[in-house]
Amino acid sequence: MRRIDQILSSLGYGTRREAAAWVSEGRIHINGVPATRADQKADPTTVTVDGKPLDHPNGLLAMLHKPLDYSCTHSEAEGANIYELLPETWLDRKPTVTSIGRLDKDTTGLILITDQGSLVHRYTSPKSDLEKTYQVTVDKELDPTVIETFARGDLILRSETKPCLPAHLEITGPRSAALTLTEGRYHQVRRMFASQGYHVESLHRTRFGPYTLDDLPEGEWKYLDL
């Protein structure tokens, strides 16, 4: 049970002062009964604003189809960022929403968004062995020996000492492939291909652990169960 002004402000509905005004205006109900005071305590799942239940009162998880040229950053200095594609109220939540890991500006596809720090930690921890699948196109014909090179688990990327864990490469066309990794090192896919003499021309993530992008249109998001 928390104070309703705190609940509303932490879920991005406005300031605590605004929440107090809505209580006076009779716009807030608890279990269908009008709230009388802003410091009244309630279970967030029982609170409504203008008759509508609160947006994901127990935390939020969503999937976004990141378009090309959007950065996974809260900074506005780097051009377009993914947070512009999400509801503004999500950014006003405390804690605010953040992506689970990042995709490069020139990578497209599935990125998870949450306000649950524990989830970010769980999914991005080096101990996490979640599989991520990327569709890759490269600048020249793929040699099938790369499959074995990536699968062996002894590939050492430039300026690193620890080999990459085994990764599964499926060649899907002369210059295209699907790569499944369990790690998430900086620019890992591009650097793995670079180590074999290929330049990655396009990179698109279709899967992150149990979640797949399916037919979610580019630039759109959808809620996932927490």
Give the residue numbers annotated as catalytic, written as ranges.
104
Pairing, β 132-138 against β 98-99: unpaired
Out of 94, 121, 187, 199, the residue judged to bind ligand URA by CB under 6 A: 187
Residue whose C-alpha is closest to residue 165's, from 141, 131, 139: 131
Instruction: Kindly report the number of other CB atoms within 10 A of residue 155's CB atom.
Output: 19
Contacts with ligand URA by CB under 6 A: the residue count is: 8
If one asks whether residue 206 binds ligand URA (CB under 6 A), the answer comes out as: no
Instruction: From 15-23, 118-126, 154-162, 187-195, give the range in contact with ligand URA by CB under 6 A.
Output: 187-195
* Stretch 81-120: interaction string toward ligand URA, x if CB under 6 A: ----------------------xx--x-------------
C-alpha–C-alpha distance, residues 188 and 184, integer Å: 7
Distances 64 to 10, 31, 35, 210, 222 between C-alpha atoms, Å: 22, 33, 35, 15, 7
* Stretch 21-60: interaction string toward ligand URA, x if CB under 6 A: ----------------------------------------
CB of 224 to ligand URA, least distance (A): 20
Helices (H), the chain: 4-10, 16-24, 88-91, 117-124, 145-152, 188-195
Contacts with ligand URA, residue ranges (CB under 6 A): 103-104, 107, 187-190, 203
